[in-house]
Amino acid sequence: MSEQAEKQQQLRVVVADDQAAVREPLAAVLGLSDDIEVVAAAADGTEVLTAVAGAPVDVVLMDLRMPVMDGIETTRRLSEEHPDVAVVVLTTFADDESILAALGAGARGYLTKNAGRQDIVRALRAAAAGQSVLDREVQDRLLATVRTGPGPSATSLPQDITPREREVLGLIGQGLPNRAIAERLFISEATVKTHINNLFAKAGIRDRADAVRRAIAAGLA
């Protein structure tokens, strides 16, 4: 295999964290992996968007609490403007609100900063392949949220939800934005929005974060 072909297979990553003492060592450690190229280290969301616009990027390793533009809004912007770029959250926060907001914004992975280098690398590779990765603490929090959710609707869906709407809900639960859902199902983005509007109305889903929780509760994600 040529050097150029090998380089093309590398995972191109942006590391985003507002603390240089975290960001720079993390970028250096990830760069030790043969198949990872850290193309930029960003201190806030605006720097992430600039980096993604300026060079090919596969995955952003995203902190949540950053100045100027936080990780949730940056993830949402990436999902809308660069749907091919996956986001893996790496944060100290594992509360329900942060987890659901990040997944609802389109993050494919959610790790706490207790994660080791190999865990992070595996999550980056999985996210780039379109898979969702949650560390054990985050999974436990989501399961607890499902168990204690309000009423039976937390774990069931109305009977009048169509098979296509269930598919769309499952893909939302996997962190896919509308454009990616449209591509996966071979339908237009406008049709995806129609399915989502119908789904939310039928199931009483409040927002995308609530849709993620409902998808997980229903075993669709």
Q: Identify whether the C-beta of residue 18 lies closer than 8 Å to the C-beta of residue 64.
A: no
Distances (CA, A) of 108 to 68, 143, 150: 23, 17, 25
The distance from CA 109 to its chain's CA centroid, rounded to whole angstroms, is: 5
What is the mean pLDDT of the segment spanning 34-61? 95
pLDDT for 148 equals 55
Starting from the edge strand earliest in sequence, which strands make up the sheet with 59-62, in order? 36-42, 11-16, 59-62, 86-91, 109-112, 133-134
| 3-class DSSP assignment, residue 14 | strand
User: Does pLDDT of 36 surpass 60?
Assistant: yes
* pLDDT for residue 7 is more than 80: no
* pTM, to two decimals: 0.71
Q: Give 154's pLDDT tier (boundaries 50, 70, 90).
A: very low
pLDDT at 216: 78
Residue type, 104: G
Q: Is the pLDDT of residue 153 over 50?
A: no
The residue with greater pLDDT, 1 or 170, is 170
Phi and psi dihedrals of 79, rounded to 5?
-60, -35
Question: What does the pLDDT read at residue 136?
Answer: 78
Average pLDDT for the chain: 85
- The answer to whether residues 51 and 57 touch, using CB atoms and an 8 Å cutoff, is yes
Question: Contact at 8 Å (CB) between 92 and 112?
Answer: yes
Dihedral in degrees, nearest 10, Cα atoms 208, 211, 213, 217 = -170
